[in-house]
Amino acid sequence: MSSIKLKNISKYICKNINLEIFDKELLVLLGPNGAGKSTLLNVIAGLIDYEGSVFFNKIPVDKEPANKRRIGYLFQELNLFPHLDVSANIAYGLRIQKQSQDEIRTRVEELLQIMKIKHLSSRYPKELSGGEKQRVALARALANSPRILLLDEPMNSLDYRTSKYLRTEFKILQKKLGITTIYVTHNFYEAEEMAQRIAVLDKGSVEQVGSPQEIFFHPTEAVNDFIGAPNILTCDYCNRLSFGLIEVKCGDISLVVSSEREKIKKVAILPEDIYLSDTRPPGPDVNRVRGKLTEIEESSSTVCCTVKTGKNSLKVKLPQEIFASMNLNIGDEVWLILAPRKLKIITDGE
């Protein structure tokens, strides 16, 4: 059992934060830069002083220093010790615990195997790639069998492919180990992919806690400002196609979405995830919608357009330069592309 409870936590920007993370849960702390996410992790780890109380398994740990809290912490900068090789980095915590040489060797071997980095055991951090460093840092954080794992934007410095691959691997590992985890990110899609629940943090307070679907389809006003208000379409008709694809009809809009479940209630997409074109786009006529431009709102770097398609209206956000290059006016005919990968769905069971 390793639940975490935060009661009236105040530190720096964080004001009176109350939050509960359940045993074995993977909770994603989502928020913009400067929202207080890392501060909250440091409070849980006991690395900084704070007001309020932190409970592990309903027991207050405020008096326990960081080195006694049995926490695995994957820092944003990873912080691998540059003077120790991979094996010594992983073994660091075990040596501190004064485990026997045999025990240390066995555990390090085991972690090298799990993280698939056996071939890197004698390398130094400066000789590793970003993804390899990530694996070593995770192995080091897990070495002491911590009761809680904290990950502070660990994939920030990695390219999309490596980050996606590591996220999938980590999710499987977290489930296998059953370790209570808090994962910090500022990227909604990353949060959605990882989380059982998401807690949205903004300006030092928890704005919303819920499943990824709840956060996306029913965001509070503050969350709306951060992740953006999505276009939400109610489905009138669903039809299962092959390969896990479902054809849905929302008014005059016909879409193909990827889903295991057949009964889809709603479909949503963020304005910045819709492509807008002034001519008919080439390619198959799937997820392409024709409409009329009814509203244009310009801000400093983006333009928000409203496009009427039958009884539905869709908001589309695009960079100002791209919009200017199309020379569009209100009343013009435009085409929209709604990428299946970016469509979020709510099915009957949710």
Partner 1 sequence: MKIVKIFKLKWEIIPIIIFLGIWEIIARLDLMPGQFFFPPFSTVVTEFWYLTVSGVLGRNFLSSLIRVLIGFSAGSIAGLFIGIIMGWNNLANKALNPIISLIYPIPALGWLPLLMLWFGIGEILPIAIIFICSFFPILYNTVTGIKNVNKNYIYAARTLGAPDIEIITTVVMPLALPNIFTGLRLEAGMAWRVIIAAEMVAIPTGIGALMMKAESLIRIDIIIVCLIVLGIMCLSFEKFFAFLEKKLTYRWR
Residues near partner 1 (CB under 8 A): 42, 45, 47, 65-73, 75, 77, 79, 81-85, 92-93, 96-97, 124-126, 140-141, 143-144
Pairing state of beta strands 274-277 and 237-240? unpaired
Using DSSP, state whether 55 is helix, strand or coil.
Answer: strand
CB of 66 to partner 1, least distance (A): 4
CB of 49 to partner 1, least distance (A): 14
CB of 25 to partner 1, least distance (A): 20
Query: Is there a contact between 78 and 137 (Cβ–Cβ < 8 Å)?
Result: yes
Q: Which is nearer to partner 1, 93 or 210 (CB)?
A: 93
* Cβ neighbourhood burial of 32 (10 Å; 0-12, 13-18, 19+): middle
DSSP string, 98-134: T--HHHHHHHHHHHHHHTT-GGGTT--GGGS-HHHHH
CB of 9 to partner 1, least distance (A): 18
Amino acid identity for residue 91 in this structure: A
Q: Which is nearer to partner 1, 69 or 266 (CB)?
A: 69
CB of 50 to partner 1, least distance (A): 15
Q: Which is nearer to partner 1, 96 or 286 (CB)?
A: 96
Q: How far is CA 28 from the centre of its chain?
A: 6
Amino acid identity for residue 148 in this structure: I
Q: Which three-class secondary structure string do you get for 210-279?
A: ECHHHHHHCCCHHHHHHHCCCEEEECCEEEECCCCEEEEEECCEEEEEECCCCCEEEEEECHHHEEEECC
Q: Which is nearer to partner 1, 143 or 233 (CB)?
A: 143
Query: CA 51, 57, 58, 59: dihedral to nearest 10 degrees?
Result: -70
Q: Which is nearer to partner 1, 94 or 270 (CB)?
A: 94
Query: Is there a contact between 264 and 247 (Cβ–Cβ < 8 Å)?
Result: no
Q: Which is nearer to partner 1, 2 or 231 (CB)?
A: 2
CB of 149 to partner 1, least distance (A): 11
Q: Which is nearer to partner 1, 38 or 185 (CB)?
A: 38
